[in-house]
Structure 1
Amino acid sequence: MPTTNTIVHGVVLLNYVGSIGYDLLYVRVPPEAIRFNTYGGRMKFLTFWDMLLQGLFFSICLLNDIVGTNEPNPKNTPIIRKVKDTLFASLAFPLSMFVGLTFWGLYAVDRELVFPKVLDKYFPVWLNHVMHTNIMIFVFIEMIMNFRSYPKRKTGISILAAFMACYLVWIHIIHHYSGIWVYPVLEVLNLPLRIVFFAALLVLIVFMYLLGEGLNNILWSNQIKAVKSNKAKKRH
Structure 2
Amino acid sequence: MREQYRTHDGGLLEADLPTHPMEQFTRWFKQAAAPGSPTAEPNAMVVSTADAEGRPSSRTVLLKSYDDEGFVFYTNYGSRKALDLAANPQVALLFPWHPMSRQVLVTGTAARTSRQETAAYFHSRPHGSQLGAWASAQSSVLADRTELDASYAELAERYPPGSAVPVPPHWGGFRVTPRTVEFWQGRENRLHDRLRYVAAGDGAWRVERLSP
> What TM bracket, shorter-length normalisation?
under 0.3
The TM-score normalised by the length of structure 2 is: 0.28
- Determine which structure has the larger helix proportion and give its number: 1
- Determine which structure has the larger strand proportion and give its number: 2
The TM-score normalised by the length of structure 1 is: 0.26
